[in-house]
A and B are shown apart, each in its own frame.
Chain A
C-alpha cells in the first residue's frame, strides 16, 4: 500500500521526529492562495502516489500567493501517470545547500532490510546507482540486530559530511525504526536537504506499507493512497479478490495464481486474448460466486474458461459457487470447464447436472473451444 507525500510526512515522519517543511494540504486554487498568504514563497506539489510528478509538471514554485493560486489551478485536475490530481500540498520554499538520499527497504533477494544513503540526492536513485555506484552506500541489517548509531556512522564514514553527519545518522536510525515499527516495505526521503541555516529537513517522502501487515497497522489502513483500479477491479478488491481487467474477450476463472497465469498463456497460445486475470486460490476459493459475477460484468467477454485444479482449493466448493452464480445471472456467453483435483467427482457431477455442461478432460481443449467461441 502506497502513501501520498503529505500522508507519509504527517503520519510517519512527523511522529518519528524527522523535520519536514511547514505546509498545508488544499483541494482548491482559492485555498492554495490562502495557504500561500500564510506560508510565503512556496512549492505547489501534486499529491498523487507516483514518482513521476516532477517531470509531469506536478511540482512547481510560486513566489507569491497570487502565483500559488495560478499554479494550483493548473496542477489540480492534471492527470499524472493515470492519477487525477485532487489535492496539492503548499509547502514553504526551502533554502537548499545540499541534497541527500536516505531510505530503508526490504531486500527480497537477500531476505534482509537494506539501508541506503547517497550524497547525490534529489535524483532517481537507480540512475545514481547506475552512473556512480560508489555514490550509494548500502548496508544490510539482520532483522533481530537493529541499526544503531555505530552502524549509521559506519555507513557515512568517509563521505566528508562534517557537522551534519550526526544529524544524518539520527535520520537513518529513525528511518530504520519506522521501517520496523510501521512494517514498511519502503521508507524513502529524497531529497533529504541540508538547509542554508544548517538544519536537516525531509523535502519529500515515500512510504510503502507491507500489504500483509495491514492487520497490525490499523491506524494506517485507511490512509493509503488510491490505487489505479477500474470500477470492476475495485469491486474485486472490496471483496478480497485480485481481479485485473485485460483487453481480450475470453474470460478466465481459475484457482491459484500459477494456474490462472497458465490459463491465460494457453488462451494466448491458441490465438485468443484473455479478458481478465482473476484467481480464487487460497482462502478465496469460497468466493467463486462473486468472482464469476465479476468476470461476466466485463462488457467484452464473449466466452469463458473455468479451469479448476484443486489442491487446497476444493473444486466442489468452487463449482457450487459457479453454479449458484450461473443460475442467478443466467449469462448468455458460452462457458467451457476443466475440473481436476480435490473434490473433482462432486464438482463434475454438479456442473453436469445443474448446468447440463460436460467438462473437458484437458484444459487445452476447454481453452481451444473458448477461443473458437469468442471469434
Chain B
C-alpha cells in the first residue's frame, strides 16, 4: 500500500506529544480512522478520543492497525519503527528528520525482513483528498487539497503543498499525494510511488515534484517511459550552487550525477513534461489530458475542468 484509503486503520506513535496531538486531531477531522496511539507512560489513557497503549505490539494485540505514523524524535525513531514492524504493521509513515544513518539502515533492514513498507524517513506523509491523511500535510485544508484524479509525488512537504495548491486553484483535484521523504535512504522511491499511481484506477495523470541529488528521478523516468498516463514534473534546485547541501540531505549535487540537467534529460527522454515553474503545472496537466482524451477518449476531471 502506498496510496492511503479511508478504511486504513491508523496507529499514531508518540500521540501525546505536542505535534502528535495537533496532527492527530487534524487527521481525525479529515476523516482518518485513527484507532490507537502509543506512549509507554500513558498506557490506558484516552487521548483526543484515542486509546493509548504502551507499545505498538500492545496496540496491535488489541486493535489491528494497517498504518503506523511516527511522531518520534530522532534518538528514539529506530526503536519505535522496529516496535511497529515487529508488531506486524505493514506500512510505516516515518516523519522524523535527522535519524542517524545507521539507525535508518536498521529500520529498512527490519522492514525488508518482515515485508513491511517504510514511507520516508523525513516524509510529510500521505494525503487522499476526500478520504483522509496521515502525517503533517494540510490535508484538512480545502484551499490546498480537493478530490480529483491527479496523483502528486513529492520529496518535500512544502513543495508538495505548493503543487497541490496550484492544482486546486486551477480547479484540478487530486487522487492522492505521496510524500516520499527528503532523506538519502528512503523506503519508498519516486519510481515506487509512480507505479502505485499508474496502477490506481482513480488516477489519470501524475505530477512529480523532484529535487536535485540522488538518482530517483532518473529511475522514475525509466518507469514513466512505459506509462500511458501523462507525467508532469518540476525539479527543484536548478539555481542551487553545486557541492552545497541544501537542507535536505538528498539535495546535494556532486559532479554530474543527480544534477538538474541529468534529471531533466532523463525525464524528457521518457516523454515526461518538465515545467519551468510550479505555476505552469496545472496548464501542463490539463493540456496533456486533453491531448490524451483526443487520442483515446475522456479521462478524469482535469480535462473537463479545462476542456
Contacts and interface: CB of A to CB of B under 8 A. Distances in A.
B299 to A, nearest CB: 27
Contacts of B136: 311-312
Contacts of A340: 143-144, 161-162, 165
A180 B158 contact: no
B158 A143 contact: no
Interface stretch (B2-10, B48-56, B196-204, B207-215): B207-215
Interface stretch (B35-43, B62-70, B225-233, B239-247): B239-247
B99 A261 contact: no
Contacts of B138: 310-311, 341-342
Contact of A311 (B98, B109, B124, B211): B124
B258 to A, nearest CB: 11
A242 interface: yes
A212 B101 contact: yes
Contact of B277 (A211, A256, A265, A309): A265
Interface stretch (A18-26, A42-50, A109-117, A153-161): A109-117
**B contact patch SS:** loop
A257 B161 contact: no
A91 interface: no
Contacts of B185: 108, 111
Given A143-B106, A341-B144, A311 B239 contact: no
B142 to A, nearest CB: 12
Interface string A188-225: 00000000000000000000001111011000000000
Q: Which of A142, A246, A341, A364 has the most CB of B within 10 A?
A: A341
Contacts of B244: 244, 277
Q: Which of A108, A261, A274, A281 has the most CB of B within 10 A?
A: A261
Contact of A113 (B75, B105, B212): B105
Interface string A229-264: 000000000000010101000000011111111101
Contact of A259 (B144, B156, B276, B277): B156
B240 A277 contact: yes
Q: Which of B184, B240, B244 has the most CB of A within 10 A?
A: B240
Contacts of A281: 157-158, 247
A99 to B, nearest CB: 26
Interface residues of B, number: 56
Contacts of B109: 142-144
A259 B159 contact: yes
B100 A216 contact: yes
Nearest to B162: A309
A266 interface: yes
A144 B78 CA distance: 13
A313 interface: yes
Contacts, number: 168
A10 B236 CA distance: 42
Contacts of B298: none
Contacts of A5: none
B109 to A, nearest CB: 6
B238 interface: yes
Contacts of A309: 158-159, 161-162, 165
Contacts of A342: 138, 141
B132 interface: no
A268 interface: yes
B191 to A, nearest CB: 14
A216 B101 CA distance: 13
B1 interface: no
A341 B278 CA distance: 15
B102 A210 contact: yes
Contacts of B160: 258, 311
B105 A143 contact: yes
Contacts of B97: 282
Contacts of B251: 257, 261
B248 interface: yes
A295 interface: no
B144 A258 contact: no
A166 interface: no
Interface in A264-319: 264-269, 274, 277, 279, 281-282, 309-313
A341 B161 contact: yes
Interface of A: 106, 108-109, 111-113, 142-144, 180, 183, 185, 210-213, 215-216, 242, 244, 246, 254-262, 264-269, 274, 277, 279, 281-282, 309-313, 340-342, 344, 362-364
Given A261-B251, A340-B144, 16 more contacts: A106-B101, A111-B105, A113-B102, A211-B98, A215-B75, A216-B100, A256-B156, A256-B247, A257-B246, A258-B209, A259-B161, A268-B239, A282-B97, A310-B158, A311-B161, A341-B165
